[in-house]
Amino acid sequence: MSMVSAPPGKQTSEKRVIPNRLGTPFRRILASWEVLLFAVAVLIFIFNSLASPYFLDAWNLSDATFNFTEKAMIAFAMALLVISGEIDLSVASIIALASTAMGAAAQVGIGTPGLVLIGIGTGLACGIFNGVLVSVLKLPSIVVTIGTMSLFRGISYIVLGDQAYGKYPADFAYFGQGYVVWVFSFEFVLFIVLAILFAILLHATNFGRQVYAIGNNDFAARFSGIPVERVKFILFLLTGIMSGVAAVCLTSRLGSTRPSIAQGWELEVVTMVVLGGISILGGSGTIGGVVIAAFVMGLVTFGLGLLNVPGIVMSIFIGLLLIITIAIPIIARRIKAMSSR
């Protein structure tokens, strides 16, 4: 997607210096996707507080965070996956399967630590399954995960049919309903911690650089000695684990499991990732962008909720948001190209 313009410098210089970090002028920072997105978030915040007198309240805002924390946890892992040029459409179905596994375990009296292990373990197993299909059998991730999307949720339907699991242990409720300090819920704190961990993983480790390299040029990455398939496998595994974590939080928050749990979340997670400035073609984007995108989506849906807009109409906004945010930079580039001609 990003066109690398040839450096205007002199080709004949005695020694070519390739800086680690290009100096970024202040104007470029201002025009960066993350800053624009942050401005949008602030605008929505101001608009919401003007539109509804109930918006600006610490507990109310704390409630609003539940709209995005679980999805954002998956979005962090999905961001890495999309940067590497792959996608996982089965994340919502992994939640359904993990939640069903936890529900079944809860019925036979397994305690909270066991349930958490089972939830995350199911996510891990699903991630391994996707990872094997994509990186060992070398199949296209879009189709594979469309398949596993129906398979994983399909297993939940076989187990549950039109039934539901309830009866979770009392202390299991903490993950989705507990608060660490004051208005800061367990989920919100986990969201922040995970954001930091993923930001470090992507932006400050060898592994992160490999993910970018693969997304930019899979071929060149291979020739540079990057274990492309192994990195992709680990990313699917991470996405599975994060879906398992999200399943623990969501199940704990709802206190029940139906096979239709988290239906359609894959779309919202992908939207969050793309809105966060991750190129859907791979190779670029930041975790910071995804964090801001999570806030934007949470604020939009919460604000619309306060205005009594039904959920399905909100999904129109999410769909529009997805397309418009991708279209804007493309149109802007066109206009720029036209005006410079």
Partner 1 sequence: MHEVMGMAKLIRKRETLLFAIIVVMIAVFSTRAADFASPDNLAGIFNDTAILIILALAQMTVILTKSIDLSVAANLAFTGMAIAMMNAAFPGLPLIALILAAIVIGAALGSINGFLVWRLEIPPIVVTLGTLTIYRGMAFVLSGGAWVNAHQMTPIFLSVPRTPILGLPVLSWVAIIIVALMYMLLRYSQFGRSAYATGGNPTAAVYAGIDTGKTKFLAFVLSGALAGLSSYLWVSRYAVAYVDIANGFELDSVAACVIGGISIAGGVGSVAGTVLGALFLGVIKNALPVIGISPFTQMAISGTVIILAVVFNARRERNRGRIILRDRAAAEVAA
Residues forming a β-bridge with 181: 184
Find the shortest distance in angstroms from Cβ 90 to partner 1: 9
C-beta contacts of 54-62 below 8 A and 24+ residues apart: 54/306, 55/303, 55/306, 58/182, 58/183, 59/183, 61/183, 62/183, 62/184, 62/185, 62/188
136 is a contact residue toward partner 1 (CB under 8 A)? no
Tell which one of 58, 197, 316, 335 touches partner 1 (CB under 8 A): 316
87 is a contact residue toward partner 1 (CB under 8 A)? yes
Q: Say how many C-beta atoms besides its own lie within 10 A of residue 29's C-beta.
A: 10
Task: In whole angstroms, give the CA distance from residue 159 to residue 97.
Answer: 9
Find the shortest distance in angstroms from Cβ 329 to partner 1: 10
**C-alpha 181 chain-centroid distance:** 25
144 is a contact residue toward partner 1 (CB under 8 A)? yes
Q: What is the number of residues in the chain?
A: 341
327 is a contact residue toward partner 1 (CB under 8 A)? yes
Contact partners, residue 162, CB within 8 Å, separation at least 6:
none
Tell which one of 158, 192, 200, 204 touches partner 1 (CB under 8 A): 158
104 is a contact residue toward partner 1 (CB under 8 A)? no
Please say which residue, 84 or 252, places its beta carbon nearer to partner 1.
Answer: 84
Please say which residue, 64 or 144, places its beta carbon nearer to partner 1.
Answer: 144
Please say which residue, 307 or 331, places its beta carbon nearer to partner 1.
Answer: 331
Residues that bind partner 1 (CB under 8 A): 87, 133, 137-140, 142-144, 146-155, 157-158, 161-162, 259, 264, 267, 270-271, 274, 280-281, 310, 312-313, 315-316, 318-320, 322-323, 326-327, 330-331
